Every structure is written in structure tokens, then in C-alpha cells.
Structure 1
Amino acid sequence: MKAATVAQLKKELQHRNPDELLQLCLKLARFKKENKELLTYLLFEAEHEEGYVNAVKEEVDQQFNLINTSSYFYIKKSVRKILRTLKKYVRYSGNKETEVVLLLYFCKKMKHMHPPITRNATLMNLYQRQLGYVEKKIDVLHEDLQYDYGQLLDQLKTTEP
């Protein structure tokens, strides 16, 4: 079965009544955890972006505390998993400022990890890639925000992990 385009779905949804739309949303939420998470964000947290960012930061803190630090192999797997989860939450928001804030927070957490990431090339490369990605994202923000987040980024860049 071939999936319909977004434009086709939009046209079809415009012809449905509110009860049918409600049933479709609930059915969609039943099938995938990501759909349910996105619907939760849109219904409950979209108006409170700062609270959402703080909740995501708390989850990142918890995940960093659970990392098995006995081997760099486990650290790499865990850090990649945390980054994947973080990117998923950023995708739900769609807000560029939220993305910058959360990625800067992730880099800060990586920088202060123990054992240090400087001893592992893969982790250092991941850290450097995220800093470069954040730098590109900062350029599309408002000038005042560019300055503020640019300073935070410079702090992360100048003092090596």
C-alpha cells in the first residue's frame, strides 16, 4: 500500500467532521509510541515551551546518570541513545530556539562526563559534530539570541572537555 501525500491527507481531513477526526487521532495514537508522544506534546506542552525544555533536560540528566561508565563502548552506545531521544523531542517541538538550548545542554553534559570524552575519538567527534550543528542553528535565530547562545557555544568550544 502506498501512503498518501500530506496534501492529499489534508484535503481528506477537511471533509471529515470533528467526531471522525477525534476517532482518527485516537486510533493513530494507539499504534505508535511516537505518535502518542507527539500528540501529548501538541495537546499539553506546546503552550509551555519552557516547561517542556526543563522536562527534557531532566530526562537527559537521568539518562546521563544511568550510563554504564565501565567501558567506552557502553558510554558511546548510551550517548548515542540520549542524542537520538533528544533529537526526537526537538522534532516534536519544531522550535529552533528549543533545539539550540537542548543541544547546548547535551554538549555541556558530555563535556562534564566522567571518564572524560577526550580519551575516546568517537565521543570527541560526536561532541565536535554537535557543536558544529549548533553553530549552524544559532545563525538562523534572532540577533539577541545569536549573541547569547554564541557565548555559550564559545565557552563549550574554548574550554576543551
Structure 2
Amino acid sequence: MSIKQYGLQEIKKELQQLDDKQAAALCLRMARYKKENKELLAYLLFDADDELAFAENLKQDIGLMMSQVPSLSYQAAKVLRKILKHINKNIKFTGSKQVEVELIMNFCRNYLEYVDRRTSYKPLRLILTKQLEKMKKAIVKLHEDLQFDYNQEFDELLEDAVKRLPWLNKHDLVL
């Protein structure tokens, strides 16, 4: 015997029938059981009103984490995946393509700064190329004015990456 799963519409109707105290109690109870629920609730309550300031704080945290990336390729790849998991979770919280582009661009810049450029470890190389592709796709979904600005930043980042990384193929990533 399993618990019946309700759809989002049914849950929404039921939540609309609750008063404020009951809804708050349900939110707090839900936040108790999963760390991600608590983080999302904290974001919505304290940081959702200024997404770009939230992104700037995240950039500082990411910069600190990236400065501590180990020099061994296997361990560096593990740490970078952990950082990307943190970034992607926060991108999911904001739901903003602009914040997504900002955070991924920041990650790529930090990658160029802190990760060993001479490595032949393919998973470490793929981390950067996948993020550049992801950024390229996110830029296309932005407003025209923002697209123009971010395309210029993307091109500058790509030029810098090609200069620093001999293994990077620019033609695969050009917008």
C-alpha cells in the first residue's frame, strides 16, 4: 500500500483554502525534513527580491571555493563538480536566465584562473566545455539587449580561454 500522490493543481487548491498560520506551519514543517527545502525557503524569504545581489554573493563564495581547487586532476574534477552542483541548485532557486549566465560565466573565469591548464585529463576539460555550451544556450534565451552584452562578454571569455588552453577548439563554441 502506497501513499496517494497528488498533482500540483490539487495541492494549490488545498493551500488556497488554508489560513496564513496553517500555511506557515506547513512550510516550516516541510523545511524541517530536507535541507534543499530549507535553502529554497530561505532564498524566497530573504534573497528573492534582489537576484543580482544574490548572484554577487554566490560569485564570492564560488571564487573562494575555486581558489581551493587541488592541483591533481582527478581531485580537481571532483571539487569542480561539487561547485557546479552548488551553482546549479542556486540557479534552480532563482529561475533567472540572467543569473544563470552570470554564475556560469563567473565559474568559467575562475576555471581559467585556478585550474591546471596543462592537464590532459579529459573529464576536467569537459567540465569547462560543457559549461561554455550551457552558457551559450542560456544567452540565446535572454532579452535582445542583454544578449548583445553577454555575447560580447562570452566572446572575450572565449578568446581568453583559447589563449590559455591549447586544447580548446573555439569554432565549436562560437555564437
Residue 17 of structure 1 deviates from its aligned partner by: 1.1
Pairing of 1:72-87 with structure 2 (within 5 A): 72-87=73-88
Q: Would you say the 8 A contact 1:117–1:123 is kept in 2? A: no
Aligned residue number for residue 171 of structure 2? none
Poorly superposed stretches of 4+, deviation over 3 Å: none
Q: Would you say the 8 A contact 2:47–2:54 is kept in 1? A: yes
> Which amino acid letter does the alignment assign opposite residue 46 of structure 1?
A
TM-score (norm. length: structure 2) = 0.86
- After superposition, the C-alpha distances for 1:26-58 in whole angstroms (9 at most, x for unaligned) are 101111111111111101101111210111111
TM-score (norm. length: structure 1) = 0.93
Aligned residue number for residue 119 of structure 1? 120
Identity score, percent: 35
Q: Would you say the 8 A contact 1:110–1:127 is kept in 2? A: yes
- After superposition, the C-alpha distances for 1:5-37 in whole angstroms (9 at most, x for unaligned) are 111110110111111101001101111111111
Question: Measured at CA, do residues 3 and 59 of structure 1 come closer, stay the same or move farther in structure 2, by a change above 3 Å?
Answer: farther
Structure 1: runs of 5 or more not aligned: none
Residue 158 of structure 1 deviates from its aligned partner by: 2.3
Aligned residue number for residue 129 of structure 1? 130
Residue 150 of structure 1 deviates from its aligned partner by: 0.6
Q: Would you say the 8 A contact 1:117–1:124 is kept in 2? A: no
Structure 1 Cα separation of the partners of residues 77 and 67 of structure 2: 14
Question: Measured at CA, do residues 95 and 114 of structure 1 come closer, stay the same or move farther in structure 2, by a change above 3 Å?
Answer: closer
Residue 115 of structure 1 deviates from its aligned partner by: 1.9
Structure 2: runs of 5 or more not aligned: 166-175
Aligned residue number for residue 15 of structure 1? 17
> Which amino acid letter does the alignment assign opposite residue 20 of structure 1?
Q
Structure 1 Cα separation of the partners of residues 101 and 118 of structure 2: 21
Aligned residue number for residue 68 of structure 1? 70
Q: Would you say the 8 A contact 2:77–2:124 is kept in 1? A: yes
Structure 2 Cα separation of the partners of residues 24 and 52 of structure 1: 26
SS at match of 1:115: coil
Structure 2 Cα separation of the partners of residues 4 and 75 of structure 1: 42
